[in-house]
Structure 1
Amino acid sequence: MMNHQQALELIPAYVDQELSVSETIELARHLDSCSSCQQEYAQQNQVSDFIKKQAPYHQASASLAQRINAALPGAQSEPATTHAQPNKADRSGWRVYKLFNLNFNWINAGAVLTTLLAVIWSAGLYLNLPSAQDRLADEVVASHVRSLQVNHLSDVISTDKHTVKPWFNGKINFSPTVIDLAQQGYPLAGGRLDYLDGHPVAALIYHRQLHPINVYIWPDNVRDAAPKSLSERGYHLMHWTSKGMVYWVASDVAAPELANFVTLLREQISSAE
Protein backbone atom coordinates (compact mmCIF):
# COMPACT_ATOMS: atom_id res chain seq x y z
CA MET A 1 0.00 0.00 0.00
CA MET A 2 1.17 3.52 -0.81
CA ASN A 3 1.74 5.75 2.22
CA HIS A 4 0.89 9.45 2.53
CA GLN A 5 4.41 10.76 1.83
CA GLN A 6 4.84 8.60 -1.25
CA ALA A 7 1.52 9.84 -2.59
CA LEU A 8 2.48 13.51 -2.09
CA GLU A 9 5.72 12.97 -4.01
CA LEU A 10 3.89 11.38 -6.95
CA ILE A 11 0.98 13.85 -7.24
CA PRO A 12 2.87 16.34 -9.54
CA ALA A 13 3.69 13.55 -11.99
CA TYR A 14 0.11 12.26 -11.64
CA VAL A 15 -1.25 15.68 -12.67
CA ASP A 16 1.02 15.67 -15.74
CA GLN A 17 0.11 12.01 -16.53
CA GLU A 18 3.74 10.91 -16.29
CA LEU A 19 3.29 7.91 -13.97
CA SER A 20 3.38 4.29 -14.99
CA VAL A 21 0.13 2.36 -15.10
CA SER A 22 0.84 0.57 -11.82
CA GLU A 23 1.79 3.81 -10.03
CA THR A 24 -1.32 5.52 -11.40
CA ILE A 25 -3.62 2.79 -10.15
CA GLU A 26 -1.98 2.70 -6.71
CA LEU A 27 -2.10 6.49 -6.32
CA ALA A 28 -5.73 6.63 -7.51
CA ARG A 29 -6.69 4.12 -4.83
CA HIS A 30 -4.83 6.15 -2.19
CA LEU A 31 -6.64 9.33 -3.29
CA ASP A 32 -9.99 7.61 -2.80
CA SER A 33 -9.32 7.32 0.94
CA CYS A 34 -7.08 10.34 1.72
CA SER A 35 -8.80 13.72 1.92
CA SER A 36 -5.56 15.72 2.37
CA CYS A 37 -4.04 14.18 -0.75
CA GLN A 38 -7.28 14.88 -2.59
CA GLN A 39 -6.95 18.57 -1.65
CA GLU A 40 -3.30 18.63 -2.74
CA TYR A 41 -4.19 17.00 -6.06
CA ALA A 42 -7.04 19.49 -6.61
CA GLN A 43 -4.74 22.46 -5.91
CA GLN A 44 -1.98 21.25 -8.22
CA ASN A 45 -4.53 20.40 -10.91
CA GLN A 46 -5.92 23.96 -10.70
CA VAL A 47 -2.44 25.43 -11.05
CA SER A 48 -1.76 23.21 -14.06
CA ASP A 49 -5.04 24.23 -15.72
CA PHE A 50 -4.36 27.91 -15.02
CA ILE A 51 -0.91 27.73 -16.62
CA LYS A 52 -2.26 25.95 -19.69
CA LYS A 53 -5.01 28.54 -20.16
CA GLN A 54 -3.20 31.73 -19.14
CA ALA A 55 0.40 31.22 -20.27
CA PRO A 56 1.21 33.63 -23.14
CA TYR A 57 1.53 32.19 -26.62
CA HIS A 58 4.26 33.71 -28.78
CA GLN A 59 3.66 33.46 -32.51
CA ALA A 60 6.58 33.71 -34.89
CA SER A 61 6.73 37.05 -36.70
CA ALA A 62 5.91 37.34 -40.41
CA SER A 63 9.43 38.56 -41.09
CA LEU A 64 10.85 35.16 -40.11
CA ALA A 65 9.91 33.62 -43.48
CA GLN A 66 11.43 36.61 -45.26
CA ARG A 67 14.71 36.23 -43.39
CA ILE A 68 14.82 32.50 -44.18
CA ASN A 69 14.12 33.12 -47.85
CA ALA A 70 16.73 35.87 -47.96
CA ALA A 71 19.34 33.48 -46.55
CA LEU A 72 18.82 30.85 -49.24
CA PRO A 73 21.37 30.72 -52.10
CA GLY A 74 20.28 32.80 -55.07
CA ALA A 75 17.54 34.55 -53.12
CA GLN A 76 19.44 37.85 -53.28
CA SER A 77 20.68 37.71 -56.84
CA GLU A 78 22.01 41.02 -58.05
CA PRO A 79 20.56 42.40 -61.30
CA ALA A 80 23.19 43.36 -63.86
CA THR A 81 21.95 46.94 -64.03
CA THR A 82 21.91 47.51 -60.28
CA HIS A 83 25.64 47.96 -59.65
CA ALA A 84 28.21 49.62 -61.83
CA GLN A 85 31.27 47.54 -62.69
CA PRO A 86 34.23 48.42 -60.47
CA ASN A 87 37.28 50.01 -62.03
CA LYS A 88 40.66 48.30 -62.05
CA ALA A 89 41.74 49.97 -58.82
CA ASP A 90 38.70 48.55 -57.01
CA ARG A 91 38.76 45.06 -58.49
CA SER A 92 40.83 43.60 -55.64
CA GLY A 93 38.44 44.96 -53.03
CA TRP A 94 35.45 43.85 -55.16
CA ARG A 95 36.73 40.28 -55.24
CA VAL A 96 37.19 40.29 -51.45
CA TYR A 97 33.63 41.61 -51.01
CA LYS A 98 32.14 38.98 -53.35
CA LEU A 99 34.07 36.17 -51.64
CA PHE A 100 32.94 37.34 -48.21
CA ASN A 101 29.33 37.77 -49.36
CA LEU A 102 29.32 34.30 -50.97
CA ASN A 103 30.70 32.65 -47.84
CA PHE A 104 28.23 34.51 -45.65
CA ASN A 105 25.30 33.36 -47.79
CA TRP A 106 26.51 29.75 -47.66
CA ILE A 107 26.84 29.96 -43.86
CA ASN A 108 23.23 31.17 -43.65
CA ALA A 109 22.13 28.46 -46.07
CA GLY A 110 23.89 25.85 -43.96
CA ALA A 111 22.11 27.07 -40.85
CA VAL A 112 18.75 26.96 -42.62
CA LEU A 113 19.46 23.46 -43.96
CA THR A 114 20.39 22.26 -40.47
CA THR A 115 17.15 23.69 -39.10
CA LEU A 116 15.11 22.05 -41.84
CA LEU A 117 16.76 18.68 -41.23
CA ALA A 118 16.02 19.01 -37.51
CA VAL A 119 12.36 19.76 -38.29
CA ILE A 120 12.13 16.78 -40.65
CA TRP A 121 13.75 14.50 -38.06
CA SER A 122 11.34 15.73 -35.36
CA ALA A 123 8.38 15.23 -37.70
CA GLY A 124 9.56 11.67 -38.34
CA LEU A 125 9.65 10.97 -34.63
CA TYR A 126 6.18 12.44 -34.23
CA LEU A 127 4.74 10.36 -37.07
CA ASN A 128 6.23 7.22 -35.52
CA LEU A 129 4.55 7.86 -32.16
CA PRO A 130 1.74 5.42 -31.37
CA SER A 131 -1.80 6.72 -31.83
CA ALA A 132 -4.15 7.31 -28.90
CA GLN A 133 -5.96 4.07 -29.76
CA ASP A 134 -2.68 2.13 -29.83
CA ARG A 135 -1.67 3.51 -26.44
CA LEU A 136 -5.08 2.66 -24.98
CA ALA A 137 -4.95 -0.84 -26.43
CA ASP A 138 -1.56 -1.31 -24.78
CA GLU A 139 -3.01 -0.12 -21.44
CA VAL A 140 -5.94 -2.53 -21.76
CA VAL A 141 -3.68 -5.50 -22.44
CA ALA A 142 -1.35 -4.50 -19.59
CA SER A 143 -4.33 -4.31 -17.22
CA HIS A 144 -5.67 -7.68 -18.39
CA VAL A 145 -2.30 -9.38 -17.94
CA ARG A 146 -1.71 -7.70 -14.59
CA SER A 147 -5.08 -8.86 -13.27
CA LEU A 148 -4.04 -12.45 -14.00
CA GLN A 149 -0.47 -12.22 -12.73
CA VAL A 150 -1.17 -10.67 -9.33
CA ASN A 151 -4.25 -12.84 -8.75
CA HIS A 152 -6.40 -9.74 -8.56
CA LEU A 153 -9.01 -10.48 -11.16
CA SER A 154 -11.91 -9.34 -8.95
CA ASP A 155 -12.50 -6.97 -6.05
CA VAL A 156 -16.01 -8.39 -5.69
CA ILE A 157 -16.44 -12.08 -6.53
CA SER A 158 -19.98 -12.97 -7.48
CA THR A 159 -22.04 -14.43 -10.31
CA ASP A 160 -25.03 -12.29 -9.27
CA LYS A 161 -25.32 -9.01 -11.18
CA HIS A 162 -27.39 -7.60 -8.31
CA THR A 163 -24.33 -8.02 -6.09
CA VAL A 164 -21.71 -6.80 -8.56
CA LYS A 165 -23.52 -3.66 -9.79
CA PRO A 166 -24.17 -2.04 -6.36
CA TRP A 167 -20.59 -2.78 -5.29
CA PHE A 168 -19.45 0.07 -7.56
CA ASN A 169 -21.69 2.62 -5.78
CA GLY A 170 -19.56 5.38 -4.25
CA LYS A 171 -16.37 4.05 -5.84
CA ILE A 172 -16.83 5.59 -9.30
CA ASN A 173 -19.00 8.44 -10.57
CA PHE A 174 -21.11 6.32 -12.91
CA SER A 175 -23.15 3.12 -12.75
CA PRO A 176 -22.03 0.40 -15.18
CA THR A 177 -24.62 -1.86 -16.76
CA VAL A 178 -23.94 -5.39 -15.50
CA ILE A 179 -25.22 -8.26 -17.64
CA ASP A 180 -25.36 -11.97 -16.81
CA LEU A 181 -24.62 -14.17 -19.84
CA ALA A 182 -24.39 -17.51 -18.03
CA GLN A 183 -27.09 -19.09 -20.16
CA GLN A 184 -25.16 -18.15 -23.29
CA GLY A 185 -21.95 -19.72 -21.97
CA TYR A 186 -20.26 -16.57 -20.61
CA PRO A 187 -20.99 -16.46 -16.86
CA LEU A 188 -20.33 -13.32 -14.82
CA ALA A 189 -17.52 -13.81 -12.28
CA GLY A 190 -17.24 -10.43 -10.53
CA GLY A 191 -15.90 -6.92 -10.88
CA ARG A 192 -13.12 -4.60 -9.80
CA LEU A 193 -11.85 -1.04 -10.09
CA ASP A 194 -9.11 -0.30 -12.59
CA TYR A 195 -7.47 2.72 -14.18
CA LEU A 196 -7.35 3.40 -17.93
CA ASP A 197 -7.07 6.43 -20.19
CA GLY A 198 -6.36 8.74 -17.24
CA HIS A 199 -9.34 7.90 -15.01
CA PRO A 200 -10.93 5.11 -12.95
CA VAL A 201 -12.97 2.53 -14.85
CA ALA A 202 -15.26 -0.37 -14.00
CA ALA A 203 -13.93 -3.80 -14.95
CA LEU A 204 -16.41 -6.66 -15.23
CA ILE A 205 -15.09 -10.21 -15.40
CA TYR A 206 -16.68 -13.01 -17.40
CA HIS A 207 -15.45 -16.48 -18.25
CA ARG A 208 -15.53 -18.64 -21.34
CA GLN A 209 -14.65 -22.05 -19.89
CA LEU A 210 -11.19 -21.39 -18.34
CA HIS A 211 -10.58 -18.12 -20.22
CA PRO A 212 -11.25 -14.87 -18.33
CA ILE A 213 -12.75 -11.95 -20.25
CA ASN A 214 -12.23 -8.41 -18.96
CA VAL A 215 -14.84 -5.82 -19.91
CA TYR A 216 -13.75 -2.22 -19.19
CA ILE A 217 -16.40 0.51 -19.03
CA TRP A 218 -16.19 4.25 -18.50
CA PRO A 219 -18.11 7.38 -19.58
CA ASP A 220 -16.85 9.77 -22.24
CA ASN A 221 -18.30 12.44 -24.54
CA VAL A 222 -17.75 10.56 -27.79
CA ARG A 223 -19.92 9.53 -30.70
CA ASP A 224 -21.41 6.06 -30.92
CA ALA A 225 -19.11 3.73 -32.84
CA ALA A 226 -19.50 0.14 -33.99
CA PRO A 227 -17.23 -2.56 -32.54
CA LYS A 228 -13.70 -2.77 -33.86
CA SER A 229 -11.32 -5.70 -33.44
CA LEU A 230 -7.56 -5.76 -33.01
CA SER A 231 -4.83 -7.93 -31.55
CA GLU A 232 -2.10 -6.93 -29.15
CA ARG A 233 0.66 -9.21 -27.86
CA GLY A 234 -1.37 -12.33 -28.61
CA TYR A 235 -4.58 -11.09 -26.97
CA HIS A 236 -7.79 -10.27 -28.81
CA LEU A 237 -9.43 -6.91 -28.17
CA MET A 238 -12.72 -5.32 -29.19
CA HIS A 239 -13.95 -1.82 -28.42
CA TRP A 240 -16.97 0.36 -29.18
CA THR A 241 -18.90 3.34 -27.80
CA SER A 242 -22.61 3.61 -27.09
CA LYS A 243 -24.70 6.35 -25.46
CA GLY A 244 -21.75 8.13 -23.89
CA MET A 245 -20.04 4.98 -22.61
CA VAL A 246 -16.78 3.45 -23.80
CA TYR A 247 -16.36 -0.34 -23.82
CA TRP A 248 -13.12 -2.31 -24.22
CA VAL A 249 -13.00 -6.11 -24.04
CA ALA A 250 -9.83 -8.19 -23.69
CA SER A 251 -9.24 -11.95 -23.58
CA ASP A 252 -7.19 -14.79 -24.96
CA VAL A 253 -10.25 -16.64 -26.27
CA ALA A 254 -10.47 -17.19 -30.01
CA ALA A 255 -11.47 -14.12 -31.98
CA PRO A 256 -14.83 -15.58 -33.19
CA GLU A 257 -15.82 -16.45 -29.62
CA LEU A 258 -14.93 -12.97 -28.41
CA ALA A 259 -16.95 -11.45 -31.26
CA ASN A 260 -19.93 -13.63 -30.29
CA PHE A 261 -19.57 -12.52 -26.66
CA VAL A 262 -19.54 -8.84 -27.68
CA THR A 263 -22.63 -9.32 -29.86
CA LEU A 264 -24.53 -10.92 -26.96
CA LEU A 265 -23.31 -8.30 -24.49
CA ARG A 266 -24.33 -5.38 -26.71
CA GLU A 267 -27.78 -6.87 -27.29
CA GLN A 268 -28.36 -7.32 -23.55
CA ILE A 269 -27.04 -3.84 -22.70
CA SER A 270 -29.31 -2.30 -25.33
CA SER A 271 -32.32 -4.15 -23.88
CA ALA A 272 -31.45 -3.10 -20.33
CA GLU A 273 -31.08 0.63 -21.13
Structure 2
Amino acid sequence: MDHEQAFELLAGYIDDELSLSEALEFERHLAGCEACKRAYEQQRKVSAQLRQADLRLEAPAELVKRIRASLPGRRSWWQRLAARFGAEGGAGGFAGFGTRGGTLGWGPVGVMALSLVALSWSAGLYLSMPSGNSRLTEELVDSHVRSLQFNHLYDVISTDRHTVKPWFDGKLDFAPPVVDLAQQGYPLVGGRLDYLDGRAVAVMVYRYKLHPINLYVWPGNDASATPRLSERQGYHLAHWSAGGMNYWAVTDAGDTELDGFLAALRAHSAS
Protein backbone atom coordinates (compact mmCIF):
# COMPACT_ATOMS: atom_id res chain seq x y z
CA MET A 1 0.00 0.00 0.00
CA ASP A 2 1.40 3.44 -0.96
CA HIS A 3 0.70 6.87 0.56
CA GLU A 4 -2.10 7.70 -1.88
CA GLN A 5 -4.00 4.51 -1.08
CA ALA A 6 -3.40 5.02 2.66
CA PHE A 7 -4.81 8.56 2.58
CA GLU A 8 -7.89 7.28 0.71
CA LEU A 9 -8.52 4.76 3.51
CA LEU A 10 -7.62 7.05 6.42
CA ALA A 11 -11.09 8.53 7.04
CA GLY A 12 -12.76 5.13 6.68
CA TYR A 13 -10.34 3.61 9.18
CA ILE A 14 -11.05 6.31 11.78
CA ASP A 15 -14.81 5.84 11.32
CA ASP A 16 -14.56 1.98 11.43
CA GLU A 17 -15.90 1.67 7.87
CA LEU A 18 -13.15 -0.54 6.38
CA SER A 19 -13.34 -4.27 5.84
CA LEU A 20 -11.17 -6.50 8.00
CA SER A 21 -8.56 -7.01 5.27
CA GLU A 22 -8.41 -3.28 4.42
CA ALA A 23 -8.00 -2.36 8.09
CA LEU A 24 -5.17 -4.88 8.52
CA GLU A 25 -3.39 -3.61 5.42
CA PHE A 26 -3.77 0.00 6.56
CA GLU A 27 -2.39 -0.82 10.01
CA ARG A 28 0.63 -2.58 8.48
CA HIS A 29 1.36 0.50 6.37
CA LEU A 30 0.82 2.79 9.35
CA ALA A 31 3.31 0.85 11.46
CA GLY A 32 6.15 1.64 9.04
CA CYS A 33 5.25 5.13 7.79
CA GLU A 34 5.88 8.17 9.99
CA ALA A 35 4.13 10.58 7.60
CA CYS A 36 0.93 8.55 7.64
CA LYS A 37 1.17 8.20 11.43
CA ARG A 38 1.24 11.99 11.79
CA ALA A 39 -1.69 12.40 9.37
CA TYR A 40 -3.64 9.74 11.25
CA GLU A 41 -3.04 11.37 14.65
CA GLN A 42 -4.04 14.80 13.34
CA GLN A 43 -7.27 13.57 11.77
CA ARG A 44 -8.09 11.41 14.80
CA LYS A 45 -7.75 14.43 17.11
CA VAL A 46 -9.92 16.58 14.84
CA SER A 47 -12.56 13.84 14.69
CA ALA A 48 -12.54 13.53 18.50
CA GLN A 49 -12.87 17.29 18.96
CA LEU A 50 -15.83 17.49 16.60
CA ARG A 51 -17.65 14.93 18.74
CA GLN A 52 -17.32 17.01 21.92
CA ALA A 53 -20.62 18.26 23.31
CA ASP A 54 -19.41 21.83 23.92
CA LEU A 55 -19.09 22.38 20.15
CA ARG A 56 -22.82 21.92 19.65
CA LEU A 57 -25.19 24.88 19.90
CA GLU A 58 -28.75 24.33 21.07
CA ALA A 59 -31.18 26.56 19.17
CA PRO A 60 -33.31 28.84 21.41
CA ALA A 61 -36.89 27.66 21.85
CA GLU A 62 -38.27 30.90 20.38
CA LEU A 63 -36.18 30.44 17.22
CA VAL A 64 -37.37 26.87 16.82
CA LYS A 65 -40.97 28.06 17.22
CA ARG A 66 -40.60 30.77 14.56
CA ILE A 67 -38.97 28.39 12.08
CA ARG A 68 -41.70 25.80 12.50
CA ALA A 69 -44.40 28.47 12.17
CA SER A 70 -42.90 29.69 8.88
CA LEU A 71 -42.90 26.21 7.29
CA PRO A 72 -45.77 25.49 4.86
CA GLY A 73 -48.45 23.33 6.43
CA ARG A 74 -48.45 20.56 3.83
CA ARG A 75 -50.34 17.43 4.81
CA SER A 76 -48.96 14.01 4.04
CA TRP A 77 -50.37 11.83 1.26
CA TRP A 78 -52.04 9.62 3.85
CA GLN A 79 -53.72 12.61 5.51
CA ARG A 80 -55.00 13.98 2.19
CA LEU A 81 -56.38 10.56 1.20
CA ALA A 82 -58.12 10.10 4.55
CA ALA A 83 -59.58 13.62 4.33
CA ARG A 84 -60.88 12.92 0.83
CA PHE A 85 -62.67 9.76 1.89
CA GLY A 86 -64.09 11.58 4.91
CA ALA A 87 -65.42 14.45 2.76
CA GLU A 88 -67.06 12.14 0.26
CA GLY A 89 -68.58 10.11 3.08
CA GLY A 90 -70.34 13.24 4.32
CA ALA A 91 -72.06 13.83 0.94
CA GLY A 92 -73.40 10.38 0.37
CA GLY A 93 -73.04 6.74 1.28
CA PHE A 94 -73.98 3.16 0.64
CA ALA A 95 -77.17 1.47 1.64
CA GLY A 96 -76.32 -0.74 4.53
CA PHE A 97 -77.08 -1.67 8.07
CA GLY A 98 -75.80 -1.11 11.54
CA THR A 99 -75.50 2.68 11.06
CA ARG A 100 -77.72 5.60 11.81
CA GLY A 101 -80.45 6.05 9.17
CA GLY A 102 -79.49 2.82 7.39
CA THR A 103 -76.52 4.49 5.69
CA LEU A 104 -72.94 3.19 5.78
CA GLY A 105 -70.58 6.19 5.76
CA TRP A 106 -67.36 6.41 3.78
CA GLY A 107 -65.20 6.51 6.91
CA PRO A 108 -64.86 2.69 7.24
CA VAL A 109 -64.34 2.41 3.47
CA GLY A 110 -61.52 4.91 3.69
CA VAL A 111 -59.89 2.95 6.47
CA MET A 112 -60.17 -0.23 4.43
CA ALA A 113 -58.68 1.49 1.38
CA LEU A 114 -55.75 2.79 3.41
CA SER A 115 -55.16 -0.66 4.86
CA LEU A 116 -55.14 -2.24 1.39
CA VAL A 117 -52.71 0.37 0.09
CA ALA A 118 -50.42 -0.14 3.08
CA LEU A 119 -50.58 -3.93 2.68
CA SER A 120 -49.82 -3.73 -1.05
CA TRP A 121 -46.91 -1.36 -0.42
CA SER A 122 -45.46 -3.64 2.27
CA ALA A 123 -45.78 -6.70 0.06
CA GLY A 124 -44.11 -4.91 -2.83
CA LEU A 125 -41.28 -3.77 -0.60
CA TYR A 126 -40.77 -7.31 0.74
CA LEU A 127 -40.74 -8.82 -2.74
CA SER A 128 -38.31 -6.20 -4.02
CA MET A 129 -35.78 -6.91 -1.27
CA PRO A 130 -32.92 -9.18 -2.34
CA SER A 131 -32.76 -12.60 -0.71
CA GLY A 132 -30.02 -13.50 1.74
CA ASN A 133 -28.21 -15.53 -0.91
CA SER A 134 -28.46 -12.68 -3.42
CA ARG A 135 -27.01 -10.22 -0.91
CA LEU A 136 -24.16 -12.61 -0.16
CA THR A 137 -23.45 -12.98 -3.89
CA GLU A 138 -23.23 -9.20 -4.18
CA GLU A 139 -20.86 -9.11 -1.19
CA LEU A 140 -18.64 -11.74 -2.79
CA VAL A 141 -18.42 -9.92 -6.12
CA ASP A 142 -17.73 -6.62 -4.34
CA SER A 143 -14.99 -8.30 -2.30
CA HIS A 144 -13.44 -9.83 -5.42
CA VAL A 145 -13.48 -6.51 -7.28
CA ARG A 146 -12.15 -4.64 -4.23
CA SER A 147 -9.23 -7.05 -3.91
CA LEU A 148 -8.26 -6.26 -7.51
CA GLN A 149 -8.78 -2.50 -7.26
CA PHE A 150 -6.63 -2.09 -4.18
CA ASN A 151 -4.09 -4.59 -5.48
CA HIS A 152 -4.64 -6.64 -2.38
CA LEU A 153 -5.18 -10.20 -3.40
CA TYR A 154 -3.25 -11.60 -0.47
CA ASP A 155 -2.10 -10.94 3.06
CA VAL A 156 0.40 -13.78 2.78
CA ILE A 157 2.16 -14.46 -0.53
CA SER A 158 3.33 -18.02 -1.06
CA THR A 159 2.88 -20.96 -3.40
CA ASP A 160 3.50 -23.37 -0.52
CA ARG A 161 0.35 -24.55 1.25
CA HIS A 162 2.48 -25.34 4.32
CA THR A 163 3.14 -21.59 4.55
CA VAL A 164 -0.36 -20.36 3.72
CA LYS A 165 -2.29 -22.72 5.99
CA PRO A 166 -0.35 -21.96 9.22
CA TRP A 167 -0.67 -18.22 8.51
CA PHE A 168 -4.40 -18.43 9.34
CA ASP A 169 -3.69 -19.92 12.80
CA GLY A 170 -4.96 -17.59 15.53
CA LYS A 171 -6.64 -15.28 13.02
CA LEU A 172 -9.78 -17.41 12.55
CA ASP A 173 -11.88 -19.70 14.71
CA PHE A 174 -11.47 -22.54 12.21
CA ALA A 175 -8.69 -24.14 10.16
CA PRO A 176 -9.37 -23.70 6.41
CA PRO A 177 -8.31 -26.50 4.09
CA VAL A 178 -5.51 -25.38 1.75
CA VAL A 179 -4.49 -27.47 -1.27
CA ASP A 180 -1.89 -27.02 -3.99
CA LEU A 181 -3.21 -27.34 -7.55
CA ALA A 182 -0.13 -26.22 -9.45
CA GLN A 183 0.15 -29.50 -11.34
CA GLN A 184 -3.44 -29.10 -12.54
CA GLY A 185 -2.71 -25.60 -13.87
CA TYR A 186 -4.16 -23.62 -10.95
CA PRO A 187 -1.22 -22.66 -8.72
CA LEU A 188 -1.81 -21.35 -5.20
CA VAL A 189 -0.35 -17.83 -4.88
CA GLY A 190 -1.41 -16.75 -1.38
CA GLY A 191 -4.18 -16.14 1.10
CA ARG A 192 -5.92 -13.38 3.00
CA LEU A 193 -8.64 -12.59 5.52
CA ASP A 194 -11.96 -11.06 4.54
CA TYR A 195 -15.31 -10.33 6.17
CA LEU A 196 -18.52 -11.68 4.62
CA ASP A 197 -22.05 -12.40 5.80
CA GLY A 198 -21.25 -11.01 9.25
CA ARG A 199 -18.15 -13.10 9.95
CA ALA A 200 -14.43 -13.42 9.20
CA VAL A 201 -13.63 -15.83 6.35
CA ALA A 202 -10.52 -17.33 4.79
CA VAL A 203 -9.64 -16.60 1.17
CA MET A 204 -7.20 -18.77 -0.75
CA VAL A 205 -6.00 -17.15 -3.97
CA TYR A 206 -5.25 -19.24 -7.05
CA ARG A 207 -4.44 -18.29 -10.62
CA TYR A 208 -5.26 -19.59 -14.03
CA LYS A 209 -2.76 -17.85 -16.32
CA LEU A 210 -3.48 -14.15 -15.64
CA HIS A 211 -6.89 -14.76 -14.04
CA PRO A 212 -7.07 -14.71 -10.22
CA ILE A 213 -9.50 -17.11 -8.54
CA ASN A 214 -10.65 -16.17 -5.05
CA LEU A 215 -11.76 -19.20 -3.02
CA TYR A 216 -13.76 -18.12 0.06
CA VAL A 217 -14.15 -20.65 2.89
CA TRP A 218 -15.95 -20.61 6.25
CA PRO A 219 -17.72 -23.20 8.43
CA GLY A 220 -21.25 -24.22 7.50
CA ASN A 221 -23.36 -26.42 5.31
CA ASP A 222 -25.56 -23.97 3.40
CA ALA A 223 -25.45 -25.58 -0.04
CA SER A 224 -25.43 -28.92 -1.80
CA ALA A 225 -22.27 -30.93 -2.41
CA THR A 226 -22.57 -30.25 -6.15
CA PRO A 227 -21.31 -26.76 -7.06
CA ARG A 228 -23.98 -24.36 -8.22
CA LEU A 229 -22.70 -22.01 -10.93
CA SER A 230 -23.88 -18.45 -11.49
CA GLU A 231 -22.77 -15.20 -13.10
CA ARG A 232 -22.88 -11.65 -11.71
CA GLN A 233 -21.49 -8.49 -13.32
CA GLY A 234 -19.39 -10.55 -15.74
CA TYR A 235 -17.80 -12.66 -13.00
CA HIS A 236 -18.34 -16.40 -12.68
CA LEU A 237 -19.18 -17.88 -9.28
CA ALA A 238 -19.54 -21.37 -7.84
CA HIS A 239 -21.05 -22.30 -4.47
CA TRP A 240 -21.03 -25.63 -2.66
CA SER A 241 -20.52 -27.22 0.76
CA ALA A 242 -18.25 -30.09 1.73
CA GLY A 243 -16.67 -31.40 4.91
CA GLY A 244 -18.56 -28.93 7.11
CA MET A 245 -17.33 -25.93 5.10
CA ASN A 246 -19.01 -23.46 2.74
CA TYR A 247 -17.09 -22.73 -0.45
CA TRP A 248 -17.46 -19.86 -2.91
CA ALA A 249 -15.17 -19.45 -5.91
CA VAL A 250 -15.16 -16.15 -7.83
CA THR A 251 -13.17 -15.37 -10.99
CA ASP A 252 -13.19 -13.44 -14.24
CA ALA A 253 -12.03 -16.57 -16.07
CA GLY A 254 -14.53 -18.42 -18.23
CA ASP A 255 -16.91 -21.23 -17.34
CA THR A 256 -14.57 -23.87 -18.75
CA GLU A 257 -11.63 -22.66 -16.66
CA LEU A 258 -13.78 -22.46 -13.52
CA ASP A 259 -15.11 -25.99 -14.16
CA GLY A 260 -11.53 -27.24 -14.43
CA PHE A 261 -10.60 -25.56 -11.15
CA LEU A 262 -13.61 -27.05 -9.37
CA ALA A 263 -12.89 -30.53 -10.72
CA ALA A 264 -9.25 -30.34 -9.62
CA LEU A 265 -10.09 -28.97 -6.19
CA ARG A 266 -12.87 -31.45 -5.44
CA ALA A 267 -10.80 -34.39 -6.71
CA HIS A 268 -7.94 -33.37 -4.45
CA SER A 269 -10.28 -32.95 -1.44
CA ALA A 270 -11.85 -36.37 -2.05
CA SER A 271 -8.47 -38.14 -2.26
The one-letter code matched in structure 2 to 1:158 is S
Q: Quick check: 1:98 aligned with 2:115?
A: no
Name the stretch that deviates more: 189-198 or 260-269.
260-269
CA RMSD in angstroms, aligned pairs only: 3.0
Cα drift, residue 29 of structure 1: 8.7
Q: Closer, same or farther in 2 for the Cα pair 1:29/1:182, shift >3 Å?
A: closer
Q: Quick check: 1:256 aligned with 2:256?
A: yes
Give TM-score scaled by structure 2 length: 0.65
Could you tell me how far apart the structure 1 residues matched to 2:132 and 2:264 are?
27
Cα drift, residue 221 of structure 1: 5.0
Task: Provide the residue aligned with 1:238 in structure 2.
Answer: 238
Q: Closer, same or farther in 2 for the Cα pair 1:102/1:203, shift >3 Å?
A: same
Question: Where does 1:86-165 land on structure 2 (aligned, <5 Å)?
Answer: 97-98=100-101, 101-103=103-105, 106-165=106-165
**TM-superposition CA deviations, 1:126-151 (whole Å, max 9, x none):** 11111111111111111111111101
SS in 2 for 1:229: strand
**TM-superposition CA deviations, 1:84-142 (whole Å, max 9, x none):** xxxxxxxxxx9xx427x422xx2111111111111111111111111111111111111
Aligned length: 198
Task: Provide the residue aligned with 2:187 in structure 1.
Answer: 187
SS in 2 for 1:171: coil
Could you tell me how far apart the structure 2 residues matched to 1:131 and 1:266 are?
28
**TM-superposition CA deviations, 1:222-262 (whole Å, max 9, x none):** 46432100000000000101122000000011111101211
Question: Where does 1:1-273 land on structure 2 (aligned, <5 Å)?
Answer: 22-23=18-19, 77=97, 97-98=100-101, 101-103=103-105, 106-222=106-222, 224-271=224-271
The one-letter code matched in structure 2 to 1:132 is G
Native 8 Å contact 1:223 1:244 kept in 2: no
Could you tell me how far apart the structure 2 residues matched to 1:75 and 1:23 are?
64
Native 8 Å contact 2:205 2:212 kept in 1: yes
Could you tell me how far apart the structure 1 residues matched to 2:199 and 2:25 are?
11
Could you tell me how far apart the structure 1 residues matched to 2:192 and 2:129 are?
31
SS in 2 for 1:238: strand
Structure 2 gaps of 5+ residues are 1-5, 27-92
The one-letter code matched in structure 2 to 1:248 is W
Cα drift, residue 270 of structure 1: 2.3
Native 8 Å contact 1:224 1:244 kept in 2: no
SS in 1 for 2:172: coil
Q: Closer, same or farther in 2 for the Cα pair 1:108/1:174, shift >3 Å?
A: same
Native 8 Å contact 2:218 2:246 kept in 1: yes
The one-letter code matched in structure 1 to 2:265 is L
Native 8 Å contact 1:188 1:206 kept in 2: yes
Give TM-score scaled by structure 1 length: 0.65
The one-letter code matched in structure 1 to 2:153 is L
